[in-house]
Chain A
Amino acid sequence: MQTQLPVLKRTAKVVRREGDKLAIEYMGQEVTLEGAAARLLDKMLPYLDGSNGVGSIAERIAESPKRVQSLSQQLGQTGVLAFKDDDGERITGEQFYEIHRKYVNHWLQPIYDHPLWEKIVTGKASRAQVLGFAFEKYHYIEGAFEHMAIAAANATPEMMPHLARHFIEEYNHGDIYRKGLRSLFPDDTVLRAQPLPSTRALVNFLSESAGRNSFGYYAGNELLQMTENTGDDKDASSIDDFYAAMRKHYPYTDKVIDSFIAHTNADQKLGHENVFLEMCQSIPPLTRAEVDDALNIVRSMAEHLFLFMDGIDTFYSRFPTMPRAPSDLLSE
């Protein structure tokens, strides 16, 4: 134990509270220490960068190694502290599934908090933003033709059956959205419309990931699927409320909203909730480098999804032309 190198997680934030309390905010949770434990952690903090052993820290802060070891162990169990020499072992796919769930719930939070949702629900979003939201969702779903096909074509043997099925079941879902948009625009206009750079970014990132890391791609895709998940009553009700408010403020999107709901229903009928778990159960154990690579894809997917939302909000506010017709020799 004395040779372990404790490191405070980079994303953990230490906050001083009233009295002698110290709180560590990490992944939406909070660990609070007070009294002697808070004072000990305060002294340990400058040395928790992964370059000092427990014994060395104890020596530097003139504390007993046993106390430093005990607090490090307890903080390690909460997840806010890691130990740099814990890097040799492989983890099973099922363990990865649990880790994935934990991080994804945290990484999705900024997307749920994006101001565009509030603008649509309160009727403050412009026509271009609302129709843009519908068009960009269409482009993103239509993008399945690209990334799901690339994923299937580049799949590892373990992932191939899952990715083949994934493409076959979902390649035509863009047509569900297209049907909604056809209530407002001619079919040809919908088909020729151009996505925003931010939507293109999401689809291209999916395609690039699909071409180089089958498992990482699906782990990232799972994050996207989780935003469509209306499995529990609370989620389902908040999505219903969102659509109801959108219909109220933007009655011309009625058919478009029907298509959103039809798509959610189509996804639910496929029963994809357990597919990722099944995948995780079917893969060989992962090295730390493989775990980090897959989770880097997942984190980046969350950032791309945020960009997708932000692009609709920001770009259509500044450049409200709708729909985005392609260039021709006279348009520019």
Chain B
Amino acid sequence: MGQQFGVRRVYETAPKGDSVSVRLSDREVQLGSREFALYEKLAERVPSVQSEKEIAADLGMDEARLRRLTTALESAGLLYRQDAVPATLSGVDLHTLFNKILPSWLDEAFSHPFWERMTSGNGSRRMYSGWLIELYHYTRNANRHMPLSCAHTKEKAIKNMRAKHYAEEWNHYHYFLKALKALGFSEESVINSVPLPMSLALSNFMRQAAREDILAYSICSAVLEGTTVNRGAYNPYYEKCAELYKLPQESIAPIYAHLDLDVQYQHSDLFLDILNTVKTIPAARAGRVLEYGHQLVEHIWLWTDSIEKYYGVDSNPMPRPKFSKLLD
């Protein structure tokens, strides 16, 4: 069945009385609990080696009923026909699609319980500081991927835009260093520390994207910029953490300054500017670009998970020193 149908990405399911609400990026679908169970079983079997007859038998129905079920799920938007995927689209159309999906992607990226834990007072100053250390590493490591994206871009117009972005961002890690110093960390201990594997993984993934396709790189960059455009979303987090964990104002001010600068540079418009220069994108390339964007979302989720797990253990060194045969 996988040759014929694709399964739409579900961002959330929630029971509502006798039914289940299934949230897609563009709609919410209400299914009865029995229909939802059938949908789950079918979605699991669409990519399997089972024939339609075997799937129907597994679901306790005949093939005709299975076809009626798939048609109903297709009408509801939960399944789609592979032959309905357009062969090409323009750069602007890809950006329109991206804009529609982005809120769901960001919800997923920040769905980790870490955020609730931090803002409900169940986190700690140590965990906040750890998160900031990893953010410092991620921002400093922009120097590992931003110039690489310029080097691997073929089109002059895009190359210029990426270079300008790099020129505006390369030294922003200083903001995080300043915040960490206000929290009591020495400059030397932060500069000489090593990031968590998932922080390194983020920049390695960006390097991978930079080498493969500038649009794949640019969508990842756009997802990251998308996390910083809305002051209303990030201010409460910092304000709450400052209040709960007695953070000095000097440790928050540099972060606001950094976020304001990003907004001032209008980096969130860069992806549209880049896509404006691309007339046509074949479906396979566009799919790969979207895949990069979504994987970046997953990277953010797992990055958050790593931060919570590592800095949640009081005995783990902070910042993490490099290995030294002499000292270790």
Residues of A at under 8 Å CB distance from B?
7, 9-11, 50, 82, 84, 86-87, 99, 182-186, 188-189, 194, 196-198, 200-201, 204-205, 208, 288, 291-292, 295-296, 299-300, 303-304, 306-307, 310-311, 314-315, 318-319, 321-323, 325-332
Contacts and interface: CB of A to CB of B under 8 A. Distances in A.
B54 interface: no
A197 B200 contact: no
A322 B46 CA distance: 10
B57 interface: no
Contacts of A306: 197
A186 B283 CA distance: 22
Nearest to A299: B323
B85 A86 contact: no
6 contacts: A182-B49, A194-B295, A307-B197, A326-B288, A328-B286, A331-B6
A330 B85 contact: yes
Given A186-B2, A315-B302, A7 B327 contact: yes
Interface in B1-21: 2-3, 6-10
Nearest to B47: A189
B49 A204 contact: no
B326 A86 contact: yes
A317 to B, nearest CB: 11
A197 B47 contact: no
B321 interface: yes
A296 B198 contact: no
Contacts of B97: 329, 332
A332 B207 contact: no
Contact of A327 (B86, B287, B301): B287
A11 B322 CA distance: 12
B44 A196 contact: no
* Most chain B C-beta atoms within 10 Å of own C-beta, residue among A188, A326, A330: A330
Contact of A205 (B8, B80, B197, B328): B197
A210 B253 CA distance: 40
Q: Which 5 A-B pairs have the closest CB atoms?
A: A201-B201, A204-B204, A327-B290, A328-B287, A327-B291
Given A197-B201, A200-B295, A326 B326 contact: no
Nearest to A146: B208
Contact of B327 (A10, A198, A205): A10
Given A189-B47, A325-B47, A300 B328 contact: no
Nearest to B298: A197
Interface string B313-328: 0000100011111111
Contacts of B228: none
Contacts of B204: 201, 204-205, 208
Contacts of A300: 194, 197, 200
Contacts of A194: 291, 295
B93 to A, nearest CB: 9
A331 B8 contact: yes
Contact of B201 (A99, A200, A315): A200
Nearest to A12: B328
Nearest to B315: A13
A252 to B, nearest CB: 10
Contact of A10 (B104, B105, B328): B328
Contact of A201 (B3, B7, B200): B200
A204 B208 contact: yes
A288 B326 contact: yes
B85 A328 contact: yes
B89 interface: yes
A186 B49 contact: yes
Interface string B282-317: 010011101101110011011001100100000001
Given A198-B198, A328-B85, A329-B85, A204 B2 contact: no
Contacts of A315: 298, 301-302
B198 A329 contact: no
Contacts of A327: 9, 287-288, 290-291, 293-294
Contacts of A328: 6, 85, 283, 286-287, 290
Contacts of B105: 332
B257 interface: no
B101 A197 contact: no
Contacts of A303: 196-197
Contacts of B326: 7, 82, 84, 86-87, 288
Interface in B90-105: 97, 101, 104-105
A10 B113 CA distance: 32
A184 B48 contact: yes
B233 interface: no
Interface in B237-254: none
B200 A205 contact: yes
B64 interface: no
B25 interface: yes
Contact of A196 (B89, B293, B298): B298
B140 to A, nearest CB: 16
B203 to A, nearest CB: 9
A11 B2 CA distance: 52
A295 B85 CA distance: 49
B205 interface: yes
A13 to B, nearest CB: 9
Given A200-B295, A204-B201, A300-B194, A295 B287 contact: no
* Most chain A C-beta atoms within 10 Å of own C-beta, residue among B104, B208, B286: B208
A22 B181 CA distance: 36
A189 to B, nearest CB: 5
Contacts of B317: 10
Contact of B44 (A82, A319, A322): A322
Nearest to A302: B197
Contacts of A326: 287-288, 291
